[in-house]
């Protein structure tokens, strides 16, 4: 029978190797075990030789699971898949199945007198095997992210953005029925979905970006416009081409050639200007000398005549 149960558990995709621990030293303890895995129950601190322990299944105590006398196991109803450690008072049960979910009374006797009685509730859950994320852009630029899990009993979902909790300015809404959230238009980053129950936890992370929307805030024809629009199709708050001439970015090689040409022209103008100035001053100096010569020559002739007259 146990082999058949184990085969069914494997077919259902339960994860073997999972292990949970439960402290059942208080009456009414709620314990959980993974389907196909192991649960370790803390029954007592340490088994004493002066005491006798009995562990039953069901509130009516119809099935005796464990009987310990003087630190020795005298009866174990599930010996093939369980063990009791008297040194630390733990009872380990492996290969858990759905039928293990039940109430388990526990009694401590001393000299055939019950000195303590309590019970624990054990619930077997199928562990969550995986988490999957899917995202889509909505008409107004919001992004919906959905999370689904592979198997698992009573899964619970939680969300983070860049490994922190989402804020009201980032989270637009959350839908617990579809396990999805809707993020506002500006949100981007690593969104993670964690799926857990009492025996397991898995998570999945996905990098998301905004949906190509931009927020515009302007006045057009006397009307104030403040809204999110798709950037590629935006015609709002855009100045007309007649009032906003297009700025052409020149080619770097053309700009460099133009700069060299301008510099060359300027240099030529300077050279020609200098040459012109030099010619002007040369011409002026020549005329000045000519005028000077014509001014002093009569005086010299007069002087020469004076000398001749003196000599005579």
CA 219/CA 236 separation, integer angstroms: 10
CA 151/CA 35 separation, integer angstroms: 11
- Give me the mean pLDDT over the 262-282 stretch: 76
Last residue of one domain, picked from the residues 67, 95, 125: 125
pLDDT for 252 beyond 60 = no
- Give me the mean pLDDT over the 153-174 stretch: 94
Do 111 and 35 fall within a single domain?
Answer: yes
Contact (Cβ atoms closer than 8 angstroms) between residue 6 and residue 94 = no
Q: What are phi and psi for residue 232, nearest 5 degrees?
A: -65, -30
Contact (Cβ atoms closer than 8 angstroms) between residue 125 and residue 32 = yes
Range of the domain at 66: 17-125
Residue 137 counted as domain residue: yes
pLDDT for 261 beyond 90 = no
On average, the pLDDT of the chain sits at 81
Q: Alpha helix locations (H) across the chain?
A: 2-11, 252-311
Last residue of one domain, picked from the residues 104, 125, 146: 125
pLDDT for 283 beyond 80 = no
Residue 49 counted as domain residue: yes
Provide the CATH number for the domain around residue 81.
2.60.40.10
pLDDT for 114 beyond 90 = yes
Q: What is the CA radius of gyration of the chain?
A: 50
- What would the DSSP string read from start to end of 107-148? EEEETTEEEEEEEEEEEEEPPP-EEEEEEEE-TTS-EEEEEE
Give residue 218's pLDDT.
81
pLDDT for 54 beyond 90 = yes
pLDDT for 303 beyond 90 = no
Model pTM score: 0.65
Beta carbons within 8 Å of 284's beta carbon, 6+ residues apart: none
Last residue of one domain, picked from the residues 71, 101, 125: 125
pLDDT for 309 beyond 70 = no
């Amino acid at each position: 029978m146990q082999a058949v149960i184990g085969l069914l558990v494997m077919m259902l995709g339960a994860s073997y190797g999972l292990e949970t621990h439960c402290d059942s030293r208080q009456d009414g303890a709620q314990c959980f075990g993974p389907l196909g895995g192991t649960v370790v129950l803390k029954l007592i601190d340490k088994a004493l030789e002066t005491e006798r322990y009995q562990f039953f299944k069901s509130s009516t105590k119809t099935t005796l699971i464990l009987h310990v006398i003087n630190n020795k196991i005298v009866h174990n109803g599930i010996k093939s898949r369980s063990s009791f450690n008297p040194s630390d008072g733990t009872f380990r049960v492996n290969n858990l199945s759905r039928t293990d979910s039940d109430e388990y009374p526990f009694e401590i006797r001393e000299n055939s007198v019950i000195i303590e009685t309590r019970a624990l509730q054990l619930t077997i859950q199928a562990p969550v095997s995986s988490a999957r994320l899917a995202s889509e852009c909505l008409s107004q630029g919001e992004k919906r992210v959905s999370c689904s899990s592979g198997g698992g009993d009573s899964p619970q979902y939680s969300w983070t953005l860049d490994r922190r909790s989402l804020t009201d300015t980032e989270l637009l809404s959350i839908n617990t029925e579809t396990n999805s959230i809707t993020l506002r238009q500006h949100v981007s980053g690593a969104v993670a979905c964690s799926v857990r129950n009492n025996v397991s936890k898995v998570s999945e992370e996905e990098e998301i970006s905004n949906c190509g929307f931009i927020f515009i805030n302007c006045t057009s024809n006397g009307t104030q416009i403040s809204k999110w629009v798709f950037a590629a199709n935006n015609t709002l708050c855009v100045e007309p081409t007649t009032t906003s001439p297009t700025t052409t970015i020149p080619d770097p090689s053309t700009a460099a050639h133009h700069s060299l040409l301008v510099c060359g022209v300027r240099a030529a103008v300077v050279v020609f200007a200098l040459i012109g100035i030099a010619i002007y001053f040369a011409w002026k100096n020549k005329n000045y000398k000519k005028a000077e010569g014509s001014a002093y020559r009569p005086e010299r002739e007069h002087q020469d005549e004076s000398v001749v007259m003196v000599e005579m």
